Structure 1
């Protein structure tokens, strides 16, 4: 489903940051030099492998640590349980020269920095300034409590700053810090994840919606919608594979069989999209 573009009140990265409205007390705005990532180890080996180092060298122009949200900079409590530690949330800006390996870059930054991160990537793509938001849940490695395990790493698509859709504008507005829960940093971060999942759902439904009544918890709500998005990706891959086979089939009976399979997949996709 196409998502209608709106007259654009956001035309730059600075406009986007203004929408977040992060309190001045949280502002850090310090550069992170590439050497920090190259020097980081897990105690035994480098955090970055050879491909990571190549992506860091060739793709990353600049990294800035924009904000640190912790109990003494904003009125949000830290969170700790048996599996998670959320003492603070950091917001980083990564300026890329090319977007191809941003997922890999996101992974190694998350491995190198132990806090929950909001990674804001920007890149000029097809002569347009674009932005991509990436978040990743982390939990304590029970086998070695000095380490952490990155769970779901989720990201938006590359959003054009010159043609923000109605759904994308709602998404940006929903990220305003004062509109997020201040209970603790885990609740705060889950609410951000919920919004990224919602804009990913909007790519299919056209509607940006973060409220889903009846779900028992923020975490479970996020998991349910994320599972549906993954199922859509899986079905879309299956449909593409069958469509490729169909082009080379001449036997009418086989063509009918494959078209029937595509019809069933389309029905499943439609059902999932209607529930997003």
Structure 2
């Protein structure tokens, strides 16, 4: 995690470096007993690393009818295995990193860049926010958080690491800056399909890439499901039909991947 914190190149003017009690997260982000259990059992430590504000990083606030980006919070969480069962039968339960990241984004009223170190790997997570339609003054998530697993063998010279630096993000306002980090995560996900890390050059290209990635993920789920069903199918005709459908989906996936 220290490599990614350094890679962000955050100025000392915005650093907070303050521990946050997980009780605060449980009170503000956990709507159910299962969520509270996830927070209490899985989190080892929460650190508020930095508060990006106009007077600390020289970037302007953003405001329109749907959202206010007055500042951006940078947080880190160290998570641990949650024990399941008791005594000799106790096992280590994997951390639900997707849900944990979502709870953090819901609990903090500002957009968050979250660094999450869990037993199963290192994750980065971001989520756009907007005003709630039915409750004045309330902020909600604008779509699902983007939570991606990052390779542990990255070096300071890796393009993805270099791309995260704060000075490399758009500086027009906090919405543009935050979207710059979001595009970094999208480029990392795209690399899993293309084999190389490249940033998009225009907002339109970024939108096209995100749409293509979403469609490819959906197609991968469908293909995996069909393959599983086909392997269990005993009727030849249905096996043939499933294989033809898989072939068509693979062709579509190959075509969609050209936009990544």
TM-score norm. by structure 1 comes to 0.83
Q: 1:123 to 1:47 in 2, by over 3 A?
A: closer
**Residues 1:87 and 1:199: Cα distance change in structure 2 (over 3 Å):** same
- Structure with the larger helix share: 2
Structure 2, unaligned runs of 5 or more: 82-93
Distance 1:81 1:21 in 2: 29
SS in 2 for 1:73: helix
Contact 2:63–2:69 at 8 Å: present in 1 too?
A: yes
Would the alpha carbon gap of residues 36 and 251 (structure 1) be closer, same or farther in structure 2, given more than 3 Å must change?
closer
Give 3-state SS (helix, strand or coil) of 1:144's partner.
coil
Whether 1:267 aligns to 2:234 is no
Distance in structure 2 (CA, Å) of the matches to 1:89 and 1:27 = 12
Aligned counterparts, 1:90-105, within 5 A? 90-98=73-81, 100-105=95-100
Whether 1:186 aligns to 2:175 is yes
- Give the one of 117, 120, 137 matched to 1:146: 137
Q: State the distance in 1 between where 2:242 and 2:23 align.
A: 53
Residue 112 of structure 1 aligns with which residue? 107
Superposed, which structure 2 residues align to 1:213-252 within 5 Å?
A: 213=202, 218=203, 221-252=205-236
| Contact 2:30–2:36, Cα closer than 8 Å, also in 1 | no
Residue equivalent to 1:160: 151
Shift of 1:84: 0.7
Cα separation, 1, equivalents of 2:35 and 2:234: 45
Q: Which has the higher contact order (CA 8 A, sep 6+)?
A: 1
Query: Counterpart of 2:2?
Result: 14
Q: Deviations over 1:120-143 (max 9, x none)?
A: 001233xxxx32100000001132
How many pairs does the alignment contain? Answer: 247
Question: What is the aligned partner in structure 2 of residue 124 from structure 1?
Answer: 119
- 16, 22, 34: which is aligned to 1:34? 22
Distance 2:151 2:196 in 1: 18
Q: Which runs of 5+ in 1 are unaligned?
A: 1-12, 41-45
CA contact (8 A) 1:69 1:88 kept: yes
Q: Give 1:195's match in structure 2, choosing from 184, 191, 205.
A: 184
> Structure 2 length as normaliser, TM-score?
0.88
Deviation, structure 1 residue 156: 1.4
- Cα RMSD of the aligned pairs, angstroms, is 2.0
Structure 2 counterpart of 1:78, from 57, 61, 64: 61
Q: Whole-Å Cα distance in 1 between the matches of residues 30 and 233 of structure 2?
A: 48
Query: What secondary structure is seen at the aligned counterpart in 1 of 2:233?
Result: coil
Secondary structure at the counterpart of residue 78 of structure 2:
strand
Could you tell me how far 1:34 is from its partner in structure 2?
1.4
Give the deviation of 1:207 after TM superposition: 1.9
Q: CA deviation at 1:116?
A: 0.6
